Amino acid sequence: DVKVTQSSRYLVKRTGEKVFLECVQDMDHENMFWYRQDPGLGLRLIYFSYDVKMKEKGDIPEGYSVSREKKERFSLILESASTNQTSMYLCASSRRQNNEQFFGPGTRLTVL
């Protein structure tokens, strides 16, 4: 059974803290994505990666960075968390272009 896992379901952090969100997929997919989901705004792409060490900015990259050192793992980093980064974060993976994306269960991050 294909699987995308995320390190935490719920996370509470303080303003200014550095936050790491981890995502692992076991399908040998080339592409990996980080989205944030907010009510009424749908899924907005933060960053994606199409290969190890490769990354591209999505629609809302400000305040975030990413790391992909291994094919199966894609990390989202909030260098200095702020309250407006409180959101649901979803990781996804897919084979190359125009293939279905498989989503992880999400991490609900609250920044106080």
Partner 1 sequence: QQPVQSPQAVILREGEDAVINCSSSKALYSVHWYRQKHGEAPVFLMILLKGGEQKGHDKISASFNEKKQQSSLYLTASQLSYSGTYFCGTGDGSARQLTFGSGTQLTVLP
Residues of this chain that interact with partner 1 (CB under 8 A) are 4, 31, 33, 35, 40-45, 48, 50, 56, 58-59, 90, 96-106
Q: Least Å distance between CB 66 and partner 1?
A: 13
User: Measured from the CB atom, is 17 or 30 closer to partner 1?
Assistant: 30
Q: Least Å distance between CB 91 and partner 1?
A: 9
User: Measured from the CB atom, is 81 or 94 closer to partner 1?
Assistant: 94
User: Measured from the CB atom, is 47 or 81 closer to partner 1?
Assistant: 47
Per the listing, tokens 């960075």 go with 65
Name 58's bridge partners. none
State both tokens at 80: 């200095």
* Strand stretches in 7-106, DSSP E: 10-13, 19-25, 31-38, 42-51, 54-57, 65-70, 73-78, 87-94, 102-103
